[in-house]
Amino acid sequence: MKSFLKGLAGAASIAAIGISGAAKADEPIRFALLQDFTAVYTFVTDEYNQGQRDYIELVNREGGLNGHEIEAIIRDTGNEPQRGIEAYNRARREGAILVDFLSTPVSRAAVNRVLDDEVVMITVLHGRGDASDGTTFPYIFPMMATYWSQATLLLDYIDREQGGLEGKRIAHVYIDSPFGREPVPVMEELAQRKDFELRTYAYPSPGNEQSATWSDVRRFRPDHVILWGAGGGQAVSVREAIRNGIPQENILSVVWMAETDARTIGEERATGIKRFEAVATGTDLPIMQRILEEVIEPGHGAGPSENVGTTYYNIGVASMAVATEAARLALEEHGAPLTGTSLRDGFRMIRDFDAEGMMPPVSFAEDDHQGGGYGRVSRWNGEAWEAVTDWFTAHQDIVWEEIEKDAAGFREGR
Amino acid sequence: MDIGYFLELLINGALTGLMYSLVALGIVLIYKSSGVPNLAQGAMVMISAYLIWVGVSLAGLPMIVALALAVVGMFLFGLLAERLLLRKMVGQPIIMIVMLTLGLEIFLRGLGPGLLGAAPKSLDLGIDLMPIIIGEVFINRAYLVGAVVAVVMIVLSLLFFRTRLGTKLRAVSDDHVSSWSVGISVERAIGISWGLAGASAVAAGALWGSVQGVDWTLSMLLFPAVAVVILGGLDSIYGVLVAGLIVGILGSVIPGYVDPIVGGGTRDVVTSLIILLTIIFRPHGMFGREDIERV
Amino acid sequence: MFYRLSGVHHTRYETARRIWPVPADRRMVYLVLALAVAAPLYMSDLYLTSYMLPWLIWSAAALSLTLLMGIAGQLHFGFAAVMAIGAYTSIHLTRAGVPLELALIGAGLVAAGIGCIFGAAALRVKGLYLVMATLAMQYLVDWTIINVPAISGGAQATLSTPSVTFLFVPLRGDTALYYGALLWAVIVTMLVLNIKRTSFGRALVAIRDKDFAAAVIGVNPFKYKLLAFFTSSFLGGVSGAVLAFCYYQAVTPEQFGFNVSIQLVAMVLVGGLGSVIGAYLGAGFVLLMPIVLTNVVAYMAIAGWLSVSSNLLAHIPLMVYGGLIVGFILFEPLGLAKIYDNVRKYFLVWPFRHTQS
C-alpha cells in the first residue's frame, strides 16, 4: 500500500513537471505521432512515420520555425483505443498541440476529446471523412482527399481517360469493413448520374484468400475494377483480378497501394495497374532532395534509407509539411507560444500550399478541412509509380452531400 | 444456375481448403501426441515465412536452400518450445495451456515484425500467376501447388505414423503412462511432434507468404485452421484432409451464392458456423477419437 | 504484527462466514475504497482518466468473466462480444430516449439473453471445445455488428454516446465519469464477493469441480450453467455499456474485437482464476502493462539507453507482454492473487513463519 502511494506521489510529481514545462515560452512545438506500429496499420506506419520524422529533422536542421524547434512525441498505440487515449492524454500534458493517430478506431475514439481539449488532430487518409466539415469538427483536419473524394476521382478518371462511364460495368471490390463500404454511397449516386452499372463485392478481412469473390466478379464481366482494401489483401486482389482476365490497365485502387504491393504481385505483372495518389512518390522533388542532403546523407535518418521516397514515406513527409506550414502561419499571426486554437487558425490560413510540388495545392477554410479533395492517378510502370494525370478533383458536390449528411448526424448524436 | 461458376467455386474452394489443412496439420500433430491445442500455430507459420524471407532476401540464398534451412530452424524451434514451455504444463488445466500458447503467439507476433520490420515483405516462389483454364473454369495455380504440397505433406504424415518412430508417437497419443512403462520416451516423442509441426508450418508459411506477402497477418490463418481441426477431429490427420476440403468448399461455394444477397463477405460466418455446429452435434469431429467427456 | 493475529481461527460459524474474517483486511478494504473515492482530489486528470478509469471498468468486466470462468468453471473466449452487445444496446436505447438507468438494465438483459445462447454450447461440451465454440460466436457477433448498419451506425460505423444523466447527475467531466465507473466497479465487486457466499455460488463451485458429482448431490447442472452464463453476461453487458458511456464515449466495432476477448481472459488468468482481487490485479496488469512498457521503452530510447530501430522499439512491449503472460502461466499459474496471498500470509503471522488460514 505504501509503495503504491509513493508511486502515485512520484507519478504526480512527474506530471507536475510536465505541466510547468509546457508553460515556458521558448519551448519547442510538440507534435504527437501516436500511431499503430504493431497491429493493423503496420503496412503503412513504419514508412509513414519515418517520413514524418525525417521531415521534422529537416525543419529543425534548417533552423526550425522562427527559432522554435519541432519535437515529435512518438508512441505505439497498437490500434487499441484505450492505449491511444492514454498516449493522447499524456502527450497533451507534455504540451502537444497536434496529434496524428493514423488509426481509424483510435482517432474516432478521440474525436470528442480533441474537440473538447482544443487540440488539432490530423486524420490523413484515415478517420472520419465527415470531419471535412470544419464547422462541426473545428479541430480535425482530414487534410487530404477523403475516401469519398478518392472514389469520385477514380470514377471521373475512367469517365475522362478510359472511354467514358456511360453503359460501363464497374465492380467495386472491397474488404468487408466500414472502410471498404464507405465509398459505396457516392459511387451509387454517381452511377445514377453517369448511367453506369455498379456492383459491389466484399471479401472477408484480412483478405488473404479471395478466390470465391473474384469468380463472381469475373462473371459480371466488369470493364473496370476498383479495389478498396489495405495491406496484404491488396496484392491478393490484384493477382486475382489479373488471373480472372481483367486487364491491368483497368484495375484501379484506393490510395493504399504501394511499392511493396507491386513487388508482391510481381513487378512485371503489376505493370499498368492504377491507383489514387495523394502525394507524389519518389525522391525527385525539392523537399526530398533536401531531406536526402541534410538528413539522410549525414546519417540522421529515422530509419532504413531505402524507404526514402516510397509512397507512404512521402505521404508522411507531406503531412508534416502541411502541419509545419500551418504552425509557421500561426506563429506569424499569433506569435509564440502556439496553442491548439492558434494552430487551427494557422491551418485555416493555408492557401494553395503544395509542399514545393510534392502534393496538390491545398487550401483550408473554416468550412473546408479537406483542402479541396485533390489527387491524381498514377500507374505502375514496372519499376515505379508514375503519374498519368495532373492534380484534379471531381464531383465534390456529391462528396459534400455525404459529408454534410454524416456531419449532421454527428451534431445530432452529441 | 451457372454450372461453370459452381465448379470454379468448388475447385478453388477445395484447393484453398487444402492450404488451410497445411496450417491445421501442425495443430493436429501436436494435439495427437500431447493433447495440447497449439493456438500459436498461426504465429509459427508467420515466423517460418519470415525465416524463408531472411534466407532469400537478406542472405541471398536460393529458395530451396532457404526452405531447407527454415525447416531445420522451425524444427528446432518446435523442440525448444516444447522443452521450455509445454513440458512444464503437464497436468495443468486446459485453459492455462490455451493461454500459454496464446501468450507465445503474442510474443512471436512482436518478435518477427519487431526484428525484421513490420511492413509486408514479398516472397516469390516462381509460380505463374495465370490460371489454368478448363472450359469456363479458372483454376488458381498458386492454390493448386499449395493443395498438392498439402496433400503430399498429409500423406507423408500418414506414412510417418507407420514408421518405427511414428508407431511410438501413436502409442504416446494413446496413453502416456503405458508408453512410459514399455520404455518409450514420451518427452522425446512429444518434442518430435512439435518439431514436425514447426516443419509443416514452413510449408504453410512459404505458400501463404507467396500469395499475400509476409507480415503478421499470416498468424490470422489460425481461425480457418481451427475450423478444419475441429471439423476433422483434433487428433486425426486423415480428418485434416477431409475437413480441409469441406471447410474450403463450403467457405467458397456458400459465400459465392450468399454474398451478393447479403452484401457482405460471409466466409467467416460459414467458418464460425462450421465450428459451432460441429461442436454442438459431434464435438469430436468427423474422425476424432470419441473420448471427450460430455456434460 | 500488522494484522495483530496469530493466524485465522474460527470459533463460531458467524465469524467464518464473514466477508472479511480478518479485521485488518476489512480496514484495508475501507482504506482502498476511501482512497478510490478521494482519487479526484489527489490524482492528476491524466492518471484519473487514462489509468484509474479504464482500470476500474476493465476490472468490473474481468470480475464478470471470473465469475463465469473461475467460479463456475465455464470457459469463455467471446466475452468482448457480450460487452459489445451491452454497449450497443445501451447506446441505441438512450438514443431512443430511454433514461440511462433503464438503458443499463436493458443492456444487461439483452447481453444476458444472447449470452445464454453462448451458454447453450456449454450444455453440450466443456474445456477446449467450449473455448472454440465461444470463439466462433465472437466472430458471429462481430460480423453482425459490422454488417448491419442499423446496429453499427451507418457509413462511419461510429455511434457517439448522447449526453445523459445518471441518477440526476449529468455524466460529463472527468470526475462524474470516474465516479460512475467506481460505482459500477464497487457494485460488481460486492456482488461477486457475496455470490461466493450464497448457495448459488456454492452450486457454481460444485459444477466447476465436477458436474456429474454436482448432479448427484442435487445441483441441476443445466440450470446452474445457464444461470452462470446469464449472470456473468448481464454484468458483462452492463460493463460494456459503462465502458461506452464513461470511457470511450463513442463505440466502434473494433473496440470489442477478438483480441479484446483474449485480453479479458488474460486478465482473469494472470490475476488468478476466480479471485476478486485477482481480477483487479489482472486487469491492471493486462491493461496498463503495455502502456507503461511503451512509455518506459520510449523514455529509455530518448535517454539513449536503448539504441535500436524505432520499429523494434515499438515491438518490445508486445514481446515483453507476451513473454510475461507465458511467464506467469509457467511460474505462477494461480496468478497475481496468489502472489498477493503469499505476501499476506507472510505478514499475517510475522515475525513467525508458520501460517494457518
State the pLDDT at residue A136.
Answer: 92
Report how far residue A129's alpha carbon sits from residue A141's, in angstroms, rounded to the nearest whole number. Answer: 10
For chains B and C, CB pairs below 8 A equal: 146
C-beta of residue A385 within 8 angstroms of C-beta of residue A309: no
**Residues 6 or more apart whose Cβ sits within 8 Å of residue C135:** B226, B275, C77, C78, C258, C261
> Chain A window 204-223: which residues touch C at a Cβ cutoff of 8 Å?
none
Q: pTM for the whole thing?
A: 0.91
Provide the residue type at A176 as one letter. Answer: D
For chains A and B, CB pairs below 8 A equal: 130
State the pLDDT at residue C189.
Answer: 95
Mean per-residue pLDDT, C72-82: 93
> How confident is the model over C176-213, as pLDDT tens digits?
999 999 999 999 999 999 998 899 999 999 999 888 88
Fold agreement between A27-145+283-373 and A147-277+378-398: yes
State the pLDDT at residue C345.
Answer: 82
Q: Does A30 touch chain C (CB under 8 A)?
A: no
- List the single range of A249-253, B170-174, B228-232, C345-349 with lowest mean pLDDT: C345-349
**Residues 6 or more apart whose Cβ sits within 8 Å of residue A386:** A378, A379, A380
**C252: which chain A residues are within 8 Å (Cβ-Cβ)?**
81, 104-105, 108-109, 178
Task: Just give the CATH number of A147-277+378-398.
Answer: 3.40.50.2300
In chain A, where the domains are located = 27-145+283-373, 147-277+378-398
Mean per-residue pLDDT, B35-46: 93
A 10 A CB-CB count for B294 gives: 11
Q: Does A272 touch chain B (CB under 8 A)?
A: no
Nearest to A208 among B122, B129, B212 (CB): B212
Q: Does B293 touch chain C (CB under 8 A)?
A: yes
Q: Cell 519518389 maps to which residue?
A: A282
> How confident is the model over C268-291, as pLDDT tens digits?
999 999 899 999 999 999 988 888
CATH homologous superfamily of A27-145+283-373:
Response regulator (3.40.50.2300)
State the pLDDT at residue C211.
Answer: 83
State the pLDDT at residue A15.
Answer: 42
State the pLDDT at residue C238.
Answer: 96
Q: Does C308 touch chain B (CB under 8 A)?
A: no
> How confident is the model over B186-236, as pLDDT tens digits?
888 899 999 999 999 999 999 999 888 898 889 999 999 999 999 999 989
Q: Is C203 helix (H, G, I), strand (E, B) or coil?
A: helix
Nearest to A38 among C152, C163, C314 (CB): C314
Work out the minimum CA distance from A174 to partner chain C, whole angstroms.
13
Alpha carbon dihedral C27, C32, C38, C42, in 10-degree steps, equals 120
Report how far residue A227's alpha carbon sits from residue A378's, in angstroms, rounded to the nearest whole number. Answer: 14
C-beta of residue A92 within 8 angstroms of C-beta of residue A117: yes
Give the mean pLDDT of chain B: 90
Report how far residue A285's alpha carbon sits from residue A296's, in angstroms, rounded to the nearest whole number. Answer: 15
Q: Judging by beta carbons within 10 Å of its beta carbon (0-12, 13-18, 19+), is residue C237 exposed, middle or buried?
A: buried
pLDDT band at C149 (very low <50, low <70, confident <90, very high): confident
Of A370, A373, A325, the C-alpha closest to A349 is A325
**A47: which chain B residues are within 8 Å (Cβ-Cβ)?**
119
C-alpha cell at A212: 470465391
State the pLDDT at residue B266.
Answer: 87
Name the residue in chain B with its Cα closest to that of C75: B95
Report how far residue B40's alpha carbon sits from residue B22's, in angstroms, rounded to the nearest whole number. Answer: 14
C-beta of residue B225 within 8 angstroms of C-beta of residue B24: yes
B52 pLDDT more than 90 = yes
State the pLDDT at residue C155.
Answer: 66
> Chain C window 2-41: which residues touch B at a Cβ cutoff of 8 Å?
none
- Percentage of the residues of chain C whose pLDDT score is greater than 90: 52
State the pLDDT at residue B293.
Answer: 52
pLDDT band at C354 (very low <50, low <70, confident <90, very high): low
3-state SS of chain A is CHHHHHHHHHHHHHHHHHHHHHHCCCCCEEEEEEECCCCCCHHHHHHHHHHHHHHHHHHHHCCCECCECEEEEEEECCCCHHHHHHHHHHHHHCCEEEEECCCHHHHHHHHHHHHHHCCEEECCCCCCHHHHCCCCCCCEECCCCCHHHHHHHHHHHHHHHCCCCCCCEEEEEEECCHHHHCCHHHHHHHHHHHCCEEEEEEECCCCCCCHHHHHHHHHHCCCEEEEECCCHHHHHHHHHHHHCCCCHHHEEECCCCCHHHHHHHCCCCCCCCEEEECCCCCCCCHHHHHHHHHHHCCCCCCCCHHHCCCHHHHHHHHHHHHHHHHHHHHHHHHCCCCCHHHHHHHHHHCCCECCCCCCCCECCCCCCCCCCCCEEEEEECCCCEEECCCCECCCHHHHHHHHHHHHHHHHHHC
State the pLDDT at residue B291.
Answer: 64
| Residues facing residue A53 across a β-bridge | none
Task: Just give the CATH number of C39-348.
Answer: 1.10.3470
State the pLDDT at residue C1.
Answer: 59
Report how far residue B12's alpha carbon sits from residue A44's, in angstroms, rounded to the nearest whole number. Answer: 31
Mean per-residue pLDDT, B13-23: 94
Q: Do B259 and A216 touch (CB under 8 A)?
A: yes
Q: At what angle do helices C174-195 and C276-303 cross, to 10 degrees?
A: 140
User: pLDDT tens string for chain A (414 positions)?
Assistant: 344 444 444 444 444 444 433 434 467 899 999 999 988 888 899 899 999 999 999 999 998 888 899 999 998 998 888 889 989 999 998 899 999 999 988 988 888 889 999 999 999 998 888 899 999 999 999 999 999 999 999 999 999 988 888 999 999 999 988 888 889 999 999 999 999 999 999 998 888 889 889 989 998 999 999 999 988 889 999 999 999 999 999 999 999 999 988 988 888 889 999 999 999 999 999 999 999 999 999 988 888 888 999 999 999 999 999 999 999 999 999 887 889 999 999 999 999 999 999 999 999 999 899 988 999 999 999 999 999 999 999 999 999 999 998 898 888 765
**A239: which chain B residues are within 8 Å (Cβ-Cβ)?**
129, 142, 211
C-beta of residue B74 within 8 angstroms of C-beta of residue B48: yes
C18 pLDDT more than 90 = no
Higher per-residue pLDDT: B170 or A154: A154
Mean per-residue pLDDT, B139-150: 92
State the pLDDT at residue B1.
Answer: 57
> Chain C window 203-232: which residues touch B at a Cβ cutoff of 8 Å?
211, 221, 225
Report how far residue A87's alpha carbon sits from residue A96's, in angstroms, rounded to the nearest whole number. Answer: 11
pLDDT band at B41 (very low <50, low <70, confident <90, very high): very high
Of B116, B141, B124, the C-alpha closest to B206 is B124
Work out the minimum CA distance from B196 to partner chain A, whole angstroms.
25
